[in-house]
Chain A
Amino acid sequence: MSESANAIQFFTGFRFSDLGFLAEAAGNTLLISVISISIGSVLGCLFGWALHVSVLARYLLGSVLDIFRSVPLIIQLLLFFNFFPILGLPLEPFAAGCIVLIFYTSALVAQVARGGIEAVPDSMRRASRSLGMSYLQDMRYVVWPIGARAMLPAWTGVALGVLKDSALVSVLGYLELLRASQILITRTQEPFIILAIVGAFYFALSYPIGKLSARLEQRWQYD
Protein backbone atom coordinates (compact mmCIF):
# COMPACT_ATOMS: atom_id res chain seq x y z
CA MET A 1 0.00 0.00 0.00
CA SER A 2 1.28 3.44 -0.87
CA GLU A 3 1.89 6.10 1.74
CA SER A 4 -1.05 8.21 0.61
CA ALA A 5 -3.42 5.27 1.00
CA ASN A 6 -2.22 4.88 4.58
CA ALA A 7 -2.87 8.51 5.27
CA ILE A 8 -6.47 8.16 4.12
CA GLN A 9 -7.09 5.71 6.91
CA PHE A 10 -6.02 8.25 9.53
CA PHE A 11 -7.51 11.35 8.00
CA THR A 12 -11.00 11.17 6.61
CA GLY A 13 -12.61 14.21 5.01
CA PHE A 14 -15.48 16.24 6.43
CA ARG A 15 -18.69 14.26 6.28
CA PHE A 16 -22.28 15.33 6.54
CA SER A 17 -22.68 13.44 9.80
CA ASP A 18 -20.00 15.66 11.35
CA LEU A 19 -22.53 18.46 11.26
CA GLY A 20 -24.56 16.50 13.79
CA PHE A 21 -21.49 16.23 15.98
CA LEU A 22 -20.96 19.98 15.76
CA ALA A 23 -24.64 20.66 16.43
CA GLU A 24 -24.44 18.56 19.57
CA ALA A 25 -21.38 20.53 20.65
CA ALA A 26 -23.22 23.76 19.88
CA GLY A 27 -25.97 22.50 22.17
CA ASN A 28 -23.35 22.11 24.91
CA THR A 29 -22.04 25.61 24.28
CA LEU A 30 -25.59 26.87 24.54
CA LEU A 31 -26.23 24.90 27.72
CA ILE A 32 -23.16 26.09 29.60
CA SER A 33 -23.71 29.66 28.37
CA VAL A 34 -27.38 29.81 29.34
CA ILE A 35 -26.64 28.41 32.80
CA SER A 36 -23.68 30.74 33.36
CA ILE A 37 -25.33 33.88 31.99
CA SER A 38 -28.63 33.42 33.80
CA ILE A 39 -27.28 32.44 37.22
CA GLY A 40 -24.33 34.81 36.82
CA SER A 41 -26.64 37.69 35.97
CA VAL A 42 -28.88 37.11 38.99
CA LEU A 43 -25.83 36.86 41.25
CA GLY A 44 -24.32 39.89 39.52
CA CYS A 45 -27.43 41.97 40.21
CA LEU A 46 -27.28 40.99 43.89
CA PHE A 47 -23.57 41.83 43.99
CA GLY A 48 -24.23 45.11 42.18
CA TRP A 49 -26.86 45.99 44.74
CA ALA A 50 -24.43 45.14 47.56
CA LEU A 51 -21.75 47.32 45.97
CA HIS A 52 -24.28 50.13 45.79
CA VAL A 53 -25.50 50.00 49.38
CA SER A 54 -22.48 48.99 51.42
CA VAL A 55 -19.07 50.56 51.71
CA LEU A 56 -17.76 47.36 53.26
CA ALA A 57 -19.04 45.34 50.31
CA ARG A 58 -17.37 47.78 47.95
CA TYR A 59 -14.01 46.96 49.56
CA LEU A 60 -14.39 43.25 50.24
CA LEU A 61 -16.69 42.01 47.52
CA GLY A 62 -15.36 44.59 45.09
CA SER A 63 -11.82 43.25 45.48
CA VAL A 64 -12.89 39.66 44.94
CA LEU A 65 -14.89 40.61 41.86
CA ASP A 66 -11.91 42.57 40.57
CA ILE A 67 -9.89 39.35 40.64
CA PHE A 68 -12.50 37.59 38.51
CA ARG A 69 -12.56 40.51 36.12
CA SER A 70 -8.81 40.87 35.85
CA VAL A 71 -7.37 37.36 35.71
CA PRO A 72 -7.66 35.76 32.23
CA LEU A 73 -10.56 33.36 32.14
CA ILE A 74 -8.42 30.49 30.86
CA ILE A 75 -6.19 30.76 33.95
CA GLN A 76 -9.22 30.84 36.25
CA LEU A 77 -10.57 27.72 34.57
CA LEU A 78 -7.33 25.76 34.82
CA LEU A 79 -6.66 26.82 38.42
CA PHE A 80 -10.17 26.00 39.58
CA PHE A 81 -10.39 22.71 37.69
CA ASN A 82 -7.06 21.48 39.04
CA PHE A 83 -7.53 22.81 42.56
CA PHE A 84 -10.43 20.59 43.59
CA PRO A 85 -8.79 17.22 42.89
CA ILE A 86 -6.04 18.33 45.31
CA LEU A 87 -8.74 18.51 47.98
CA GLY A 88 -9.94 15.09 46.96
CA LEU A 89 -13.04 16.49 45.27
CA PRO A 90 -12.64 15.96 41.55
CA LEU A 91 -15.00 18.10 39.46
CA GLU A 92 -16.47 17.33 36.07
CA PRO A 93 -15.24 19.74 33.37
CA PHE A 94 -18.84 20.86 32.88
CA ALA A 95 -19.36 21.68 36.57
CA ALA A 96 -16.00 23.42 36.88
CA GLY A 97 -16.67 25.41 33.71
CA CYS A 98 -20.12 26.43 34.91
CA ILE A 99 -18.89 27.58 38.30
CA VAL A 100 -16.04 29.65 36.93
CA LEU A 101 -18.20 31.16 34.17
CA ILE A 102 -20.96 31.98 36.65
CA PHE A 103 -18.58 33.94 38.88
CA TYR A 104 -16.88 35.53 35.90
CA THR A 105 -20.28 36.65 34.56
CA SER A 106 -21.41 37.85 37.96
CA ALA A 107 -18.25 39.94 38.36
CA LEU A 108 -18.91 41.67 35.06
CA VAL A 109 -22.65 42.06 35.65
CA ALA A 110 -22.11 43.42 39.18
CA GLN A 111 -20.55 46.61 37.88
CA VAL A 112 -23.18 46.91 35.16
CA ALA A 113 -25.95 46.44 37.72
CA ARG A 114 -24.45 48.95 40.11
CA GLY A 115 -24.36 51.44 37.25
CA GLY A 116 -28.01 50.62 36.50
CA ILE A 117 -29.08 51.27 40.09
CA GLU A 118 -27.12 54.50 40.18
CA ALA A 119 -28.74 55.61 36.93
CA VAL A 120 -31.90 56.20 38.97
CA PRO A 121 -31.58 59.66 40.52
CA ASP A 122 -31.81 59.92 44.31
CA SER A 123 -34.54 62.50 43.93
CA MET A 124 -36.73 59.98 42.11
CA ARG A 125 -36.22 57.44 44.87
CA ARG A 126 -37.16 60.05 47.44
CA ALA A 127 -40.30 60.73 45.43
CA SER A 128 -41.30 57.07 45.50
CA ARG A 129 -40.49 56.74 49.20
CA SER A 130 -42.50 59.88 49.91
CA LEU A 131 -45.52 58.07 48.44
CA GLY A 132 -45.20 55.51 51.22
CA MET A 133 -43.41 52.85 49.18
CA SER A 134 -41.13 50.60 51.19
CA TYR A 135 -37.49 50.17 50.23
CA LEU A 136 -38.30 46.92 48.45
CA GLN A 137 -41.28 48.37 46.61
CA ASP A 138 -39.12 51.26 45.45
CA MET A 139 -36.50 48.76 44.26
CA ARG A 140 -39.04 46.52 42.54
CA TYR A 141 -41.31 49.07 40.85
CA VAL A 142 -39.06 52.09 40.25
CA VAL A 143 -35.34 51.28 40.46
CA TRP A 144 -35.43 47.90 38.74
CA PRO A 145 -37.43 48.89 35.63
CA ILE A 146 -35.49 52.10 35.13
CA GLY A 147 -32.13 50.55 35.99
CA ALA A 148 -32.73 47.51 33.77
CA ARG A 149 -33.30 49.78 30.80
CA ALA A 150 -30.09 51.61 31.58
CA MET A 151 -28.05 48.43 31.93
CA LEU A 152 -29.47 46.49 28.99
CA PRO A 153 -26.88 47.47 26.33
CA ALA A 154 -23.94 46.77 28.65
CA TRP A 155 -25.51 43.53 29.86
CA THR A 156 -25.96 42.39 26.27
CA GLY A 157 -22.26 42.97 25.70
CA VAL A 158 -21.44 40.84 28.74
CA ALA A 159 -23.80 38.05 27.64
CA LEU A 160 -22.35 37.92 24.13
CA GLY A 161 -18.83 37.98 25.58
CA VAL A 162 -19.54 35.09 27.94
CA LEU A 163 -21.14 33.03 25.15
CA LYS A 164 -17.95 33.37 23.11
CA ASP A 165 -15.65 33.00 26.13
CA SER A 166 -17.33 29.69 26.93
CA ALA A 167 -15.05 28.32 24.16
CA LEU A 168 -12.25 28.42 26.75
CA VAL A 169 -13.93 25.65 28.72
CA SER A 170 -12.61 23.41 25.93
CA VAL A 171 -9.25 23.39 27.75
CA LEU A 172 -10.89 21.36 30.53
CA GLY A 173 -12.03 18.78 27.99
CA TYR A 174 -15.70 19.78 27.90
CA LEU A 175 -17.07 18.99 24.47
CA GLU A 176 -18.35 22.32 23.30
CA LEU A 177 -18.02 23.92 19.88
CA LEU A 178 -14.33 24.76 19.92
CA ARG A 179 -13.34 21.39 21.38
CA ALA A 180 -15.46 19.60 18.77
CA SER A 181 -13.87 21.64 16.02
CA GLN A 182 -10.39 20.70 17.24
CA ILE A 183 -11.31 17.02 17.16
CA LEU A 184 -12.71 17.33 13.65
CA ILE A 185 -9.75 19.33 12.40
CA THR A 186 -7.37 16.70 13.68
CA ARG A 187 -9.30 14.03 11.85
CA THR A 188 -10.10 15.82 8.61
CA GLN A 189 -7.16 18.18 8.27
CA GLU A 190 -9.65 20.71 6.94
CA PRO A 191 -9.41 23.58 9.39
CA PHE A 192 -10.77 26.18 7.04
CA ILE A 193 -14.17 24.66 6.40
CA ILE A 194 -14.61 23.46 9.99
CA LEU A 195 -13.73 26.77 11.60
CA ALA A 196 -16.06 28.50 9.14
CA ILE A 197 -18.89 26.19 10.18
CA VAL A 198 -18.12 26.65 13.88
CA GLY A 199 -18.03 30.42 13.36
CA ALA A 200 -21.46 30.17 11.75
CA PHE A 201 -22.72 28.22 14.78
CA TYR A 202 -21.44 30.90 17.15
CA PHE A 203 -23.08 33.53 15.00
CA ALA A 204 -26.36 31.62 15.06
CA LEU A 205 -26.19 31.49 18.88
CA SER A 206 -25.19 35.14 19.34
CA TYR A 207 -27.37 36.79 16.76
CA PRO A 208 -30.70 36.16 18.56
CA ILE A 209 -29.29 37.64 21.79
CA GLY A 210 -28.30 40.85 20.04
CA LYS A 211 -31.58 40.97 18.14
CA LEU A 212 -33.68 40.33 21.23
CA SER A 213 -31.81 43.00 23.14
CA ALA A 214 -32.26 45.54 20.35
CA ARG A 215 -35.97 44.77 20.23
CA LEU A 216 -36.30 45.13 24.01
CA GLU A 217 -34.41 48.38 23.88
CA GLN A 218 -36.82 49.67 21.31
CA ARG A 219 -39.87 48.48 23.23
CA TRP A 220 -38.51 50.02 26.42
CA GLN A 221 -38.10 53.46 24.91
CA TYR A 222 -39.84 55.94 27.11
CA ASP A 223 -42.26 57.12 24.45
Chain B
Amino acid sequence: MIELNSVNKSFGDLQVLKGIDLSVAKGEVLSVIGASGSGKSTMLYCINALEQIQGGSISVDGLDVHAKSTDINKLRQNIGMVFQQWNSFPHLTVLDNVALAPKIVLKKSADEARSIAEKQLQHVGLGDKLDTYPTRMSGGQQQRLAIARALAMEPGYMLFDEVTSALDPELVGEVLDTLRLLREDGMTMIVVTHEINFARDVSDRIAFFHQGVIEELAPAKELVNNPQRQRTQQFLSKVL
Protein backbone atom coordinates (compact mmCIF):
# COMPACT_ATOMS: atom_id res chain seq x y z
CA MET B 1 0.00 0.00 0.00
CA ILE B 2 1.15 3.50 -0.84
CA GLU B 3 0.04 6.15 1.62
CA LEU B 4 0.49 9.90 1.47
CA ASN B 5 -0.36 11.95 4.55
CA SER B 6 -0.61 15.75 4.29
CA VAL B 7 2.31 15.88 1.88
CA ASN B 8 3.74 19.33 1.20
CA LYS B 9 6.32 19.97 -1.47
CA SER B 10 7.84 23.26 -2.56
CA PHE B 11 10.35 24.35 -5.13
CA GLY B 12 11.73 27.50 -3.52
CA ASP B 13 8.76 29.77 -2.88
CA LEU B 14 6.48 27.81 -5.13
CA GLN B 15 4.39 25.26 -3.27
CA VAL B 16 3.45 22.52 -5.72
CA LEU B 17 1.85 20.00 -3.37
CA LYS B 18 -0.46 21.33 -0.68
CA GLY B 19 -1.37 18.73 1.90
CA ILE B 20 -1.95 15.70 -0.30
CA ASP B 21 -3.72 12.76 1.34
CA LEU B 22 -3.98 9.64 -0.73
CA SER B 23 -3.79 5.90 -0.41
CA VAL B 24 -3.43 3.30 -3.11
CA ALA B 25 -4.17 -0.30 -2.17
CA LYS B 26 -2.34 -3.36 -3.48
CA GLY B 27 -3.74 -4.28 -6.89
CA GLU B 28 -5.36 -0.92 -7.46
CA VAL B 29 -4.87 1.25 -10.53
CA LEU B 30 -5.10 4.96 -9.81
CA SER B 31 -4.96 7.50 -12.59
CA VAL B 32 -4.02 11.08 -11.91
CA ILE B 33 -5.24 13.79 -14.25
CA GLY B 34 -5.07 17.56 -14.24
CA ALA B 35 -3.54 20.51 -16.02
CA SER B 36 0.22 20.81 -16.49
CA GLY B 37 1.86 22.22 -13.38
CA SER B 38 -0.83 20.93 -11.06
CA GLY B 39 1.66 18.76 -9.16
CA LYS B 40 0.79 15.33 -10.56
CA SER B 41 4.28 14.37 -11.71
CA THR B 42 5.92 15.90 -8.66
CA MET B 43 3.83 13.62 -6.48
CA LEU B 44 5.22 10.58 -8.32
CA TYR B 45 8.77 11.83 -7.87
CA CYS B 46 8.12 12.25 -4.15
CA ILE B 47 6.80 8.70 -3.83
CA ASN B 48 10.14 7.16 -4.77
CA ALA B 49 12.18 9.95 -3.21
CA LEU B 50 13.53 11.39 -6.44
CA GLU B 51 12.24 14.58 -4.82
CA GLN B 52 12.31 15.46 -1.13
CA ILE B 53 9.18 16.63 0.67
CA GLN B 54 8.87 19.54 3.07
CA GLY B 55 5.98 18.29 5.14
CA GLY B 56 3.81 15.25 5.83
CA SER B 57 4.85 11.69 5.13
CA ILE B 58 4.79 9.02 2.45
CA SER B 59 4.94 5.33 3.17
CA VAL B 60 5.19 2.32 0.90
CA ASP B 61 4.30 -1.02 2.47
CA GLY B 62 4.57 0.72 5.83
CA LEU B 63 8.10 1.99 5.15
CA ASP B 64 8.57 5.75 5.57
CA VAL B 65 10.03 6.83 2.21
CA HIS B 66 11.68 10.00 3.45
CA ALA B 67 12.99 8.71 6.79
CA LYS B 68 16.77 8.95 7.10
CA SER B 69 16.97 5.31 8.15
CA THR B 70 15.25 4.07 4.99
CA ASP B 71 17.51 2.41 2.43
CA ILE B 72 16.26 4.36 -0.55
CA ASN B 73 17.94 2.15 -3.16
CA LYS B 74 16.27 -0.89 -1.66
CA LEU B 75 12.92 0.88 -1.56
CA ARG B 76 13.16 1.94 -5.19
CA GLN B 77 13.63 -1.66 -6.25
CA ASN B 78 10.05 -2.13 -5.15
CA ILE B 79 8.73 0.92 -7.03
CA GLY B 80 9.19 0.85 -10.79
CA MET B 81 8.97 4.14 -12.58
CA VAL B 82 8.53 5.03 -16.23
CA PHE B 83 9.02 8.59 -17.41
CA GLN B 84 7.71 10.85 -20.12
CA GLN B 85 11.13 10.63 -21.77
CA TRP B 86 11.95 6.95 -22.08
CA ASN B 87 15.62 7.42 -21.21
CA SER B 88 16.89 4.22 -22.79
CA PHE B 89 20.59 3.72 -22.09
CA PRO B 90 21.95 4.41 -25.58
CA HIS B 91 25.22 2.51 -25.10
CA LEU B 92 23.50 -0.78 -24.27
CA THR B 93 21.50 -3.17 -26.40
CA VAL B 94 17.81 -3.59 -25.65
CA LEU B 95 18.57 -6.76 -23.74
CA ASP B 96 21.35 -5.16 -21.70
CA ASN B 97 19.17 -2.13 -20.94
CA VAL B 98 16.80 -4.47 -19.13
CA ALA B 99 19.40 -6.86 -17.71
CA LEU B 100 21.66 -4.15 -16.22
CA ALA B 101 19.76 -3.38 -13.02
CA PRO B 102 18.95 -7.02 -12.16
CA LYS B 103 22.64 -7.77 -12.59
CA ILE B 104 24.17 -4.91 -10.60
CA VAL B 105 21.38 -4.08 -8.15
CA LEU B 106 19.80 -7.47 -7.51
CA LYS B 107 23.18 -9.24 -8.03
CA LYS B 108 21.67 -11.82 -10.37
CA SER B 109 24.07 -13.88 -12.45
CA ALA B 110 24.49 -12.87 -16.09
CA ASP B 111 22.38 -15.83 -17.21
CA GLU B 112 19.61 -15.12 -14.73
CA ALA B 113 19.56 -11.43 -15.62
CA ARG B 114 19.42 -12.34 -19.28
CA SER B 115 16.47 -14.67 -18.86
CA ILE B 116 14.61 -12.10 -16.71
CA ALA B 117 15.23 -9.49 -19.40
CA GLU B 118 14.14 -11.81 -22.20
CA LYS B 119 10.95 -12.66 -20.35
CA GLN B 120 10.05 -9.02 -19.74
CA LEU B 121 10.89 -7.98 -23.28
CA GLN B 122 8.73 -10.79 -24.67
CA HIS B 123 5.97 -9.58 -22.38
CA VAL B 124 5.99 -6.05 -23.84
CA GLY B 125 6.34 -7.36 -27.39
CA LEU B 126 10.02 -6.62 -27.95
CA GLY B 127 11.20 -10.23 -28.02
CA ASP B 128 12.59 -9.78 -31.53
CA LYS B 129 14.65 -6.68 -30.66
CA LEU B 130 17.02 -8.11 -28.04
CA ASP B 131 20.26 -7.20 -29.80
CA THR B 132 19.09 -3.93 -31.30
CA TYR B 133 20.34 -0.61 -29.93
CA PRO B 134 17.50 1.58 -28.62
CA THR B 135 18.39 4.50 -30.90
CA ARG B 136 17.27 2.31 -33.78
CA MET B 137 13.77 1.99 -32.33
CA SER B 138 10.66 4.14 -32.39
CA GLY B 139 9.56 6.15 -29.36
CA GLY B 140 6.78 3.69 -28.66
CA GLN B 141 9.19 0.78 -28.69
CA GLN B 142 11.63 2.62 -26.46
CA GLN B 143 8.84 3.41 -24.04
CA ARG B 144 7.89 -0.27 -23.91
CA LEU B 145 11.57 -1.00 -23.33
CA ALA B 146 11.49 1.41 -20.38
CA ILE B 147 8.48 -0.46 -18.99
CA ALA B 148 10.25 -3.82 -19.38
CA ARG B 149 13.33 -2.35 -17.71
CA ALA B 150 11.29 -1.29 -14.69
CA LEU B 151 9.40 -4.60 -14.54
CA ALA B 152 12.65 -6.57 -14.56
CA MET B 153 13.19 -5.48 -10.95
CA GLU B 154 9.91 -7.23 -10.11
CA PRO B 155 8.54 -4.21 -8.30
CA GLY B 156 5.37 -4.30 -6.24
CA TYR B 157 4.32 -0.92 -7.61
CA MET B 158 4.63 0.94 -10.88
CA LEU B 159 4.53 4.70 -11.36
CA PHE B 160 3.89 6.09 -14.84
CA ASP B 161 4.63 9.74 -15.52
CA GLU B 162 2.84 10.87 -18.69
CA VAL B 163 4.37 7.98 -20.57
CA THR B 164 2.57 8.76 -23.82
CA SER B 165 2.96 12.55 -23.84
CA ALA B 166 6.18 12.61 -25.84
CA LEU B 167 4.99 10.02 -28.37
CA ASP B 168 3.68 10.52 -31.88
CA PRO B 169 -0.07 9.93 -31.84
CA GLU B 170 0.15 6.69 -33.79
CA LEU B 171 2.51 5.22 -31.19
CA VAL B 172 0.36 5.98 -28.14
CA GLY B 173 -1.81 2.90 -28.59
CA GLU B 174 0.96 0.32 -28.26
CA VAL B 175 2.14 1.82 -24.98
CA LEU B 176 -1.37 2.05 -23.54
CA ASP B 177 -1.92 -1.59 -24.55
CA THR B 178 1.15 -2.51 -22.53
CA LEU B 179 -0.32 -0.73 -19.52
CA ARG B 180 -3.59 -2.61 -20.01
CA LEU B 181 -1.57 -5.81 -19.97
CA LEU B 182 -0.06 -4.87 -16.62
CA ARG B 183 -3.49 -4.12 -15.25
CA GLU B 184 -4.55 -7.65 -16.23
CA ASP B 185 -1.47 -8.97 -14.42
CA GLY B 186 -2.78 -7.27 -11.28
CA MET B 187 0.02 -4.71 -11.00
CA THR B 188 -0.53 -1.82 -8.59
CA MET B 189 -0.10 1.36 -10.59
CA ILE B 190 -0.30 5.12 -10.32
CA VAL B 191 -0.67 6.53 -13.80
CA VAL B 192 -0.28 10.25 -14.42
CA THR B 193 -1.86 10.78 -17.80
CA HIS B 194 -3.62 13.08 -20.21
CA GLU B 195 -5.41 10.13 -21.82
CA ILE B 196 -8.78 10.56 -20.11
CA ASN B 197 -10.51 7.74 -21.94
CA PHE B 198 -7.71 5.37 -21.07
CA ALA B 199 -7.90 6.47 -17.45
CA ARG B 200 -11.64 5.89 -17.39
CA ASP B 201 -11.43 2.44 -18.95
CA VAL B 202 -8.42 1.05 -17.16
CA SER B 203 -8.22 2.57 -13.69
CA ASP B 204 -10.19 1.86 -10.56
CA ARG B 205 -10.12 5.45 -9.37
CA ILE B 206 -9.11 8.79 -10.80
CA ALA B 207 -7.69 11.72 -8.86
CA PHE B 208 -8.08 15.16 -10.39
CA PHE B 209 -5.29 17.53 -9.37
CA HIS B 210 -5.70 21.27 -9.39
CA GLN B 211 -2.97 23.65 -8.23
CA GLY B 212 -1.35 21.22 -5.84
CA VAL B 213 -4.46 19.78 -4.22
CA ILE B 214 -6.63 16.79 -5.02
CA GLU B 215 -9.76 18.54 -6.18
CA GLU B 216 -11.73 15.36 -6.72
CA LEU B 217 -11.10 11.67 -6.16
CA ALA B 218 -13.67 9.13 -7.30
CA PRO B 219 -14.19 5.80 -9.05
CA ALA B 220 -12.96 6.20 -12.61
CA LYS B 221 -16.20 6.07 -14.55
CA GLU B 222 -17.98 8.21 -12.01
CA LEU B 223 -15.39 10.96 -12.15
CA VAL B 224 -15.30 11.11 -15.93
CA ASN B 225 -19.03 10.65 -16.60
CA ASN B 226 -20.39 12.57 -13.67
CA PRO B 227 -17.83 14.92 -12.11
CA GLN B 228 -19.03 16.63 -8.96
CA ARG B 229 -16.69 19.59 -8.74
CA GLN B 230 -16.94 22.55 -11.03
CA ARG B 231 -13.20 22.61 -11.74
CA THR B 232 -13.27 18.95 -12.72
CA GLN B 233 -16.15 19.63 -15.06
CA GLN B 234 -14.31 22.56 -16.63
CA PHE B 235 -11.14 20.53 -17.07
CA LEU B 236 -12.92 17.54 -18.58
CA SER B 237 -14.96 19.70 -20.94
CA LYS B 238 -11.70 21.09 -22.28
CA VAL B 239 -9.90 17.80 -22.81
CA LEU B 240 -12.70 15.44 -23.84
Question: Are the C-beta atoms of A123 and B89 separated by less than 8 Å?
Answer: no
- Please tell me if A211 contacts chain B, counting CB pairs below 8 Å: no
Question: Are the C-beta atoms of A124 and B87 separated by less than 8 Å?
Answer: yes
Question: Are the C-beta atoms of B91 and A131 separated by less than 8 Å?
Answer: no
- Please tell me if B105 contacts chain A, counting CB pairs below 8 Å: yes
B150-165 residues at the A interface, CB under 8 angstroms: 150, 153
CB distance from B43 to the nearest CB of A (A): 15
Question: Are the C-beta atoms of A149 and B91 separated by less than 8 Å?
Answer: yes
- Interface segment out of the listed B13-21, B75-83, B228-236: B75-83
**A141–B101 CA distance with the chains assembled, in angstroms:** 10
CB distance from A124 to the nearest CB of B (A): 4
B side interface size, CB within 8 A: 28
- Please tell me if A142 contacts chain B, counting CB pairs below 8 Å: yes
Chain A residues, CB < 8 A from B81: 127, 130
Chain B residues, CB < 8 A from A123: 83, 85, 87
Which residue of B79, B83, B135 is within 8 Å of A127 (Cβ)?
Answer: B83
**A129–B45 CA distance with the chains assembled, in angstroms:** 11
Report if A222-B90 is in contact (Cβ < 8 Å); known contacts: A123-B85, A126-B83, A131-B153. yes
Question: Are the C-beta atoms of A137 and B87 separated by less than 8 Å?
Answer: no
Chain B residues, CB < 8 A from A127: 81, 83, 87, 146
Which residue of B45, B87, B105, B136 is within 8 Å of A223 (Cβ)?
Answer: B136
Which residue of B80, B91, B133, B135 is within 8 Å of A130 (Cβ)?
Answer: B80
**A149–B133 CA distance with the chains assembled, in angstroms:** 15
Chain B CB within 10 Å, residue with most, of A130, A134, A142, A222: A130
Q: Interface 1/0s, chain B 132-147, versus A by CB < 8 A?
A: 0101100000000010
- Please tell me if A73 contacts chain B, counting CB pairs below 8 Å: no
Report if A222-B76 is in contact (Cβ < 8 Å); known contacts: A130-B150, A131-B149. no
Chain A CB within 10 Å, residue with most, of B90, B106, B136: B90
Question: Are the C-beta atoms of A130 and B48 separated by less than 8 Å?
Answer: yes
Question: Are the C-beta atoms of B104 and A137 separated by less than 8 Å?
Answer: yes
Chain A residues, CB < 8 A from B100: 131, 141
**A137–B89 CA distance with the chains assembled, in angstroms:** 14
- Please tell me if A121 contacts chain B, counting CB pairs below 8 Å: yes
Question: Are the C-beta atoms of A133 and B105 separated by less than 8 Å?
Answer: yes
Q: Interface 1/0s, chain B 48-78, versus A by CB < 8 A?
A: 1010000000000000000000000110110
Question: Are the C-beta atoms of B83 and A132 separated by less than 8 Å?
Answer: no
**A130–B153 CA distance with the chains assembled, in angstroms:** 10
**A145–B133 CA distance with the chains assembled, in angstroms:** 15
- Please tell me if A207 contacts chain B, counting CB pairs below 8 Å: no
Q: Interface 1/0s, chain B 179-215, versus A by CB < 8 A?
A: 0000000000000000000000000000000000000
Chain B residues, CB < 8 A from A126: 45, 50, 83, 87
Chain A residues, CB < 8 A from B153: 131-132
Report if A132-B87 is in contact (Cβ < 8 Å); known contacts: A126-B50, A223-B133. no
- Provide 8 A-B residue pairs closer than 8 Å at the C-beta atoms, listed in order of the A residue: A126-B87, A128-B101, A130-B76, A132-B106, A132-B153, A142-B89, A222-B133, A223-B133
**10 further A-B pairs in the complex, CB-CB below 8 A; given A132-B73, A223-B133:** A124-B87, A127-B146, A129-B50, A130-B81, A131-B76, A131-B80, A146-B91, A222-B90, A222-B133, A223-B136
CB within 8 Å of A: which residues of B? 45, 48, 50, 73-74, 76-77, 79-81, 83, 85, 87, 89-91, 100-101, 104-106, 133, 135-136, 146, 149-150, 153
3 closest A-B pairs (Cβ-Cβ)? A132-B77, A127-B87, A131-B101
